[in-house]
């Protein structure tokens, strides 16, 4: 039964391809926090994630792991009591750990991925975004945000990713809020769009369920005023252009996709700020290599492994 459960989650994950998105709030600003007597305009968000090496399904003696770290600073600038701007800057970096125990004994074609990430394993983006929000409609919050993810080593349009996020939150009841919107991403010879759809439901004072595609699938239990326990289904994706080298993958495009289940503990020292630690199981997925025009893509699926990490948000 447990094995069937994991297979179903893996299948569901294969239907979801999430954007690179440094999440603030699904709607950009929390109305309750904004209406507080002393609202805090700055939010600093940080995260570290490490996925241990998992064996490839079709590449013997080879395995893949990933470390990701990101940070962002969000500034909320009210222009009127119901309208304002959202400004943010951030950084996201990924280290690809592609290991091989017997590299000298393999067919050269099966060594392409290994050689590619031996040449360069660390990739990063600088993020800049500008948006606006409104809380003028009763029980509604709306925001639109435009973001650019730029390669700090090649500040050219063709090396970046660009996103537009339109989102709305409707507070149907004190316990239930619904999320609507769309995320559009373009760049690296690909354009994709994801619906932003779901709900957050507070069953009682302790238990909250979040099901917001494709950003937040979680269950939170409030055990004290400052401590929460939770579980979540995490989706990991990173897409980047490779550097120029002597390999056949030179200036190609790679994309990592992973699916994870986690348990977590969150400490909230004051409203709007928290520290979270998580540990769980990666369900696997794949990493793909394509040419410079995003054609002739080859996918390398990998198996399961453990993962862990932490995140923090500080408002001031």
Tokens of 284: 């696997």
At which residue do the structure tokens 């199981």 appear? 281
* pLDDT interval class at 13 (50, 70, 90): very low
At which residue do the structure tokens 């494709």 appear? 214
Q: Name the DSSP class of 158.
A: G
* pLDDT interval class at 40 (50, 70, 90): confident
Between residues 139 and 38, the one the model is more confident about: 139
**Where does the chain show beta strands of DSSP type E?**
42-55, 62-80, 83-100, 122-134, 140-150, 161-171, 176-186, 191-202, 207-213, 216-222, 227-241, 253-270, 273-290, 298-302, 305-315
Q: What confidence score (pLDDT) does residue 291 get?
A: 96
Q: What confidence score (pLDDT) does residue 8 get?
A: 35
d(CA 252, CA 298) in angstroms, rounded, equals 11
pLDDT > 70: what percent of the chain?
86
Q: Which residues pair with 315 in a beta bridge?
A: 43
Dump pLDDT digits (tens) for 250-270.
999 999 999 999 999 999 998
d(CA 86, CA 83) in angstroms, rounded, equals 10
CB 127, CB 145: distance < 8 Å? no
Q: What confidence score (pLDDT) does residue 30 get?
A: 54
Between residues 8 and 96, the one the model is more confident about: 96
In the predicted structure, residue 36 carries a pLDDT above the cut 90: no
* pLDDT interval class at 12 (50, 70, 90): very low
Tokens of 207: 């238990």
Dump pLDDT digits (tens) for 150-167.
999 999 999 999 999 999
d(CA 61, CA 306) in angstroms, rounded, equals 19
Please report which helix (H) or strand (E) contains residue 31, including its range: helix 31-34
Between residues 20 and 106, the one the model is more confident about: 106
In the predicted structure, residue 172 carries a pLDDT above the cut 50: yes
In the predicted structure, residue 137 carries a pLDDT above the cut 70: yes
Q: Which long-range contacts (CB under 8 A, 24 or more apart) does 136-139 make?
A: 136/82, 136/83, 139/170, 139/171, 139/172
Each residue of 6-37: b (16+ CB within 10 Å) or e? eeebeeebeeebbbbbbebbbbbbbeeebeee
Q: What confidence score (pLDDT) does residue 58 get?
A: 93
* pLDDT interval class at 90 (50, 70, 90): very high
Distance of CA 227 to the CA centre of its chain: 24
In the predicted structure, residue 104 carries a pLDDT above the cut 60: yes
């Amino acid at each position: 039964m447990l094995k069937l459960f994991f297979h179903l989650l893996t299948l569901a994950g294969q239907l979801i391809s999430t954007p690179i998105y440094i999440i603030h709030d699904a709607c950009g600003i929390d109305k309750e926090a904004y209406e507080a007597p002393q609202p805090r305009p700055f939010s600093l968000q940080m995260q570290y994630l490490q996925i241990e090496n998992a064996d490839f399904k079709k590449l013997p003696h080879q395995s893949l792991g990933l470390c990701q770290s990101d940070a962002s600073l969000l500034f909320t600038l009210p222009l009127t009591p119901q309208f304002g701007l959202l400004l943010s800057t951030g950084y996201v970096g990924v280290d690809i750990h592609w290991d091989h125990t017997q590299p000298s004994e393999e067919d050269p074609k099966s060594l392409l991925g290994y050689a590619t990430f031996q040449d360069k394993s660390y990739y990063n983006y600088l993020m800049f975004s500008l948006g606006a929000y409104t809380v003028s409609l009763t029980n509604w919050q709306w925001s639109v945000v435009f973001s650019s993810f730029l390669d700090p080593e090649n500040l050219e349009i063709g090396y970046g990713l660009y996103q537009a996020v339109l989102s709305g939150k409707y507070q149907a009841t004190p316990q239930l809020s619904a999320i609507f919107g769309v995320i559009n991403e373009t760049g690296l010879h690909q354009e994709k769009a994801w619906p932003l759809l779901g709900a957050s439901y507070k069953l009682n004072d302790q238990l909250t369920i979040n099901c917001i595609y494709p950003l937040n699938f979680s269950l939170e239990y409030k055990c004290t005023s400052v401590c929460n326990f939770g579980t979540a289904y995490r989706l990991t994706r990173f897409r980047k252009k490779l550097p120029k080298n002597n390999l056949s993958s030179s200036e190609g495009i790679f994309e990592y996709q992973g699916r994870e289940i986690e348990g977590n503990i969150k400490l909230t020292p004051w409203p709007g700020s928290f520290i979270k630690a998580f540990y769980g199981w990666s369900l696997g997925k794949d990493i793909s290599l394509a040419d410079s025009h995003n054609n002739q893509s080859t996918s390398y699926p990998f198996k399961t492994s453990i993962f862990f990490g932490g995140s923090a948000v500080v408002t001031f």
